[in-house]
Every structure is written in structure tokens, then in C-alpha cells.
Amino acid sequence: MAKDKEKDIKTNAMRILETLGISYEVITYECDEFIDGVHLAEKLGQPKECTFKTLVAQGKSGGYFAFVIPVAEELDLKAAARAVGEKSVELIPVKDINKVTGYIRGGCTAIGMKKDYPTVIDETCVLFDRIMVSGGRLGSQVILTPDDYIKATKAKCLPIIF
């Protein structure tokens, strides 16, 4: 019975981590709708500085990019564009998140998106032994090392917040 329940909460992101041999911890919580990252970190008793959110932007060239930043911070769009070699980037509308990534708002993670979009995580991630990111659905977070996250997403680690 326990295995069935565990199977129900396993997401594509978690399966990818397992395939890569990356260990992670899962935190689940009751959630019927989107909760912003700061409130989620507080609800789960996790420091907001090491809780990261995934934002998706489209570059001037038309390509999509994932930017992963601490939940209480704001993406510096100019720094983000420089990080991916674009003239500019613009966050995609919330209504397009599922179409572009395969995930929904609040459950979006750079691990296992529909396509392997270039990913940049803010350099502050290396200040922590472990970081928390979405597990790939509402009500699920994963905790793993920054190095393992970078490995799983093939992310660049650069300064992209104000």
C-alpha cells in the first residue's frame, strides 16, 4: 500500500533525478492552488534564501529559457538576457506556462520540462548545502544539493537577481 501512495506522488522530475542517480528528499503538503514561494517556504519551515523558484522567459530570438532564483528575489531581466546571450528576455504569461513547460504554475521545475530549455540558476545557490525547488507538481517540493540540481538541469550558475 505504501508503495502505491509513493508512486502516486512521484513526478517526472523525481523519475529523472532517480535515473541520474541523484538523491533527493521529497516534501509534500496540502495545496489546491498556487502558493507563492515565500509563503510556501514559511509553511514548510524552510529558509526562503535556499528555496528557489523557476521562471520561464522568452528571448528576443524566440527561444525559451528557465531561470531559477531564490523565492524572495526578483529576476534581473538584463542580467538574465546576458546569461543566455540574448538582447533581451521577457517572462512568459502565466497562461502559457503549461503549454511551454508541461508544468503548471506553482509546480514548474527546470527538471523535466517538455523541452530541454537552457537553464540558469542564480549563483547564490552555492551558498547552501541543499536547496529546495518544486518537485514538478503542486504540493510537492524536492530538496537536493546545488551541484546535483545543476547536473540534472545542465544549468549555468550566474548572477541573475537584483
Q: 113-116, long-range: CB within 8 Å, 24+ apart, which pairs?
A: 113/66, 115/64, 116/154
State the pLDDT at residue 47: 94
State the pLDDT at residue 34: 72
Q: How many CB atoms are closer than 10 A to CB 84?
A: 22
The residues, any chain, with a CB within 8 Å of residue 156's CB and separated by 6 or more, are 83, 118, 119, 120, 121
State the pLDDT at residue 36: 87
Phi and psi dihedrals of 143, rounded to 5?
-115, 130
State the pLDDT at residue 144: 98
**Among 51, 89, 85, 88, residue whose Cα is nearest residue 68:** 51
State the pLDDT at residue 8: 58
Residue pLDDT tens, the chain, 162 long: 344 444 457 899 999 999 999 999 999 998 777 778 898 999 999 999 999 999 999 999 999 999 999 999 999 999 999 999 999 999 999 999 999 999 998 889 999 999 999 999 999 999 999 999 999 998 999 999 999 999 999 999 999 999
State the pLDDT at residue 106: 86
For the chain, helix, strand, coil in percent to 5 are 35, 25, 40
- What pTM does this model have? 0.91
- Say how many Å lie between the first and final Cα of the chain, rounded: 47
| 2-158 under CATH 3.90.960.10, yes or no | yes
